[in-house]
Amino acid sequence: MIKYYFCVFLLSLSITYAEGQKISKINVLGNNRIENQTILSYLPIKEGDTTDIDSLDHCLKALFDTGYFHDVKVHREGTIIVIEVEENPIINKIAYEGNDKIKDADFKKEIQLRPREVLSYAKIQAAQQRILEIYRRLGRFSAKVDPKIIRLPENRVDLVFEIEEGPTTFIRKINFIGNKTFKGSRLEKVLQSKIWHWYRFFVNDDLYDPDRFFNDQNEIKKFYNDHGYPDMRLISSIAELSPDKTAYFLTFTIDEGKKYQFGSVKINSEIKSVDTEKLKECVVIEKDEDFSAALIDKSIKKLTEELGTMGYAFINIEPDIQKNTEAGIADIVFNIKEGPRVYIETIEIKGNDRTRDYVIRREIRIHEGDAYNSKKIKDAEQALKDLGYFKEAHVQPEEGSTIDKARINVDLEEQRTGELNVGIGYSTLDGPFTTLGVRERNFRGTGQTLHSNATISKRSMGIEAGIIEPAFLDRELAGSATVFANQSKRSKSHKENALGTILGLGYDLSEMWWQNLNYTIRSERATGFNDNASKIIRNQSHNALLSSIGQTIHFGKLDSKANPTKGFDLSYGTDFAGVGGTIKYLQHVWAAKFYYPLFTEDVVLKVMGETGIMQKMGKTIRVVDSFHMGYDSFRGFDFQGIGPRDKATGDPLNGTRMWRQVTEIKFPSGLPDDWKINASIFHELGSLWKPGQRDNNTLDSRKMRASAGAGILWASPFGPIGMSYSWPYRRQKYDEKRQLQLQFSNIF
């Protein structure tokens, strides 16, 4: 820039011209790579124009702004304009030195400079800042980047970025000022930013991130608003970098305000046909409980859903919070207003380079021409996120071509959906094991899931492969097919080999009812019998073909099917073996599961009960087809450790009648949250009796067994590690105990 102003100064001293004289010619000198016509095209003047000192000044600036020239001179010789240029060199090679934490290839993706481009000092500065930004995102705020230009023959240069990465800058302390009700340790749990500890080497939330820090501010406000403090103000939020750039200190200054409790709750409606008394059941707010913005939002959502089912699609619900500061009471009035009648004009999907449009559209339960429904739009966004195909999924409305129309924009950012899992581990049931699995959750963008898995352990081995089609026959049916082969040595008396196929079909009957159907065909073979194995087992069919159909119908509502904390699930399942094949029986299983948060959302009570019965459809029910109980199905006992047993050999004979009840409380272990260790205490009751075949040596009792114990589960960076210890305080003498259970697996 100094050179530019110096040139302008010389220009103003050396050029004399006659006012109104026209340019007869423009000569370009010094250019080797760039054509004359290209240079002339950048000029604000042309032959025949009248020039003055300002127009020549503009010529000089325009050529410098292209970034193609190291030096430019403009002067006049009579009616001829002479432009002398010195071209910027060509970049021969770009190199990075001193970078250990970030690969060269990662830099190449982020910076705009490329070999064989014209050297641009502006681009060098931009690349330097981008590299520094990359290091800051890794918490290295003391990183230094020094670009070096190495001159080469033929007006070429090598560009070298010399990097000094510096130490990682961790968050060393988080301070709260003005918090009287909640301790700093409680507020820290709300934040996404965390304080550095030695054991947090597999996460990066203890590195300062401006976006994360901004979200922390919103989370603190939300926490106070949900815990009785609607007037809370965040006076200041400061992130301070230590002078040596090795530590960050976060400070939040809070004005809590007064605590409020809910008072009266009313519903007013401008729509005369709406029965407000019936709508009161949708309000989840109770009088005298602590004020909570989350409960207000939840009530609005339920009211909107209920009004939608009643046919009122065009409504707005506005909460009016009426505070009595002296009494600390907040009365709530939900005002229902008729909104404008808006219809969906178009739905535009962007960002799905791989996933096909129809896969996305079937998750959006609103279509062009439908009445605008904010709940369905929110549900569509959540449904797309739940697919797991997208890193980001946003469904946003905007104004359409007219006031009564709306466009729905679906903005997506896809992510990888293929998984390769290699696992090694140990369990007290199967001993050391290894597993290899491949899974693709969005095969060729169709939404189909392909999976295969192989496992080898001391006592078993198996392989399976299958496909899941979430929209079978283009309907709301989830179809699946799996083929498998396995061998088990878990029985003390023999080996079991199986080869088969399972076909499944699942569908929703309503919001709270769903059903799964299945068909199984399996070829079985038992080998390797011990000489002292039970006669009952040895005399049963060792080569068999199972062909069965089954179903399970569910009724319930869970907040999460993967990790439920609230809700219930009631189910009834049947399996009928005898659709061809050599094995015949009818099996019924009834089950109920209830989840309820205690005290806080982190403490969850689970109560589960199940009972089952098997009926003969042929001569007998084999041991391998009967119910078995123990290990993970009844802690405190070994695999097949409960139930009928051969007195002479000790072999388990399993049973055709069973029941089990489990009460379990899961809660934080009390260790730092970052360790991700949860604990549980449990109590189990149950029994298994009436084998499919018996003789004089059969031990059998329907008496109740019981155990109690505790366990821990560590979601470690190496994979889940679980351990439990149980005390089987009520059992039969012939039952087999296994008080300690340990399982470790690793996926990488």
DSSP for 468-501 reads EETTGGGSS-EEEEEEEEEEE--SSS-EEEEEEE
Tell me which residue of 158, 138, 135 sits closest to 148, measured CA to CA. Answer: 158
- Would you say residue 267 has pLDDT above 50? yes
CA-closest candidate to residue 629, choices 494, 519, 528, 728: 728
The answer to whether the CB of 193 falls within 8 A of the CB of 209 is: yes
- Please say whether the beta carbons of 707 and 630 come within 8 A: no
Read off the pLDDT band of 346 (50, 70, 90). Answer: very high
Residue 718 pLDDT > 80? no
Mean pLDDT on 264-290: 88
| Segment among 70-74, 319-323, 595-599, 642-646 with least mean pLDDT | 70-74
User: What pLDDT is stored for residue 428 in this prediction?
Assistant: 59
| pLDDT band at residue 621 under the 50/70/90 scheme | very high
For residues 626 and 616, the answer to whether their CB atoms sit within 8 Å is no
Q: CB neighbours (10 Å) of residue 703?
A: 9
Q: Is the pLDDT of residue 507 over 80?
A: yes
Max intra-chain CA distance, the chain: 129
Residues of the chain with pLDDT > 70, as a percent, come to 92
Mean per-residue pLDDT over the chain, rounded? 86
- What would the mean pLDDT of 7-11 be, rounded to a whole number? 44
Residue 109 pLDDT class (50, 70, 90 cuts): confident
Whether the pLDDT of residue 16 is over 50: the answer is no
Whether pLDDT at 3 is above 60: no
pLDDT of residue 228: 93
Is a pLDDT exceeding 80 seen at residue 213?
yes
Tokens of 745: 């697996």
The Cα-based distances of 491 to 84, 274, 404 in angstroms read 92, 65, 70
Mean pLDDT across 575-603: 93
Mark out the alpha helices in 24-103 (DSSP H runs): 36-42, 53-65
Asked whether the predicted pLDDT for residue 352 surpasses 50, the reply is yes
Whether the pLDDT of residue 583 is over 50: the answer is yes
The stretches of 191-257 forming alpha helices (DSSP H) are 210-225
Please report which confidence band the pLDDT of residue 81 belongs to, taking 50, 70 and 90 as the band edges: confident
Using only the alpha carbons of the chain, give its radius of gyration. Answer: 37
Question: Are the CB atoms for 551 and 574 separated by under 8 Å?
Answer: yes
pLDDT at 6 over 60: no
In the structure, what pLDDT confidence band is assigned to residue 311 with cuts at 50, 70 and 90? low
Neighbours of 111 (CB within 10 A): 19
- pLDDT in the model for residue 309: 67
- Of 43-47, 175-179, 323-327, 688-692, give the lowest mean pLDDT range: 43-47
Complete domains list, the chain, with CATH: 2-87 (3.10.20.310), 90-164 (3.10.20.310), 170-255 (3.10.20.310), 261-338 (3.10.20.310), 343-411 (3.10.20.310), 418-747 (2.40.160.50)
Give me the mean pLDDT over the 526-541 stretch: 75
> pLDDT tens across 418-474, in order?
877 676 666 656 677 787 888 898 998 898 999 998 988 887 889 999 999 998 988
- Find tokens 């506005």 and name the residue: 318
Q: By the 8 A CB rule, do 575 and 546 touch?
A: no
The percent of residues in the chain predicted with pLDDT above 90, rounded, is 40
Q: Which of 52-61, 174-183, 487-496, 652-661 has the lowest mean pLDDT?
A: 487-496
Structure tokens at 452: 């295969």
Closest residue by Cα to residue 207 from 145, 143, 135: 135
pLDDT one-digit tens code per residue, 552-565: 999 998 877 767 88
pLDDT at 253: 96
Stretch 36-53: mean pLDDT, rounded? 84
Task: Give the span between the Cα atoms of 409 and 396, in whole angstroms.
Answer: 5
Average pLDDT over residues 668-692: 89
CA dihedral of residues 456, 461, 465, 468 (deg, nearest 10): -100
Q: Kindly give, in sequence order, each residue whose CB lies less than 8 Å from that of residue 564, ignoring residues fewer than 6 positions away.
A: 558, 593, 595
Kindly state the average pLDDT of the residues 643-652.
Answer: 90
Indicate yes or no: pTM above 0.85. Answer: no
DSSP single-letter state for residue 282: G
Per-residue confidence (pLDDT) for residue 340, from 0 to 100: 72
Q: Give the mean model confidence (pLDDT) for residues 290-315.
A: 83
Checking if the pLDDT of 37 tops 70, the result is yes
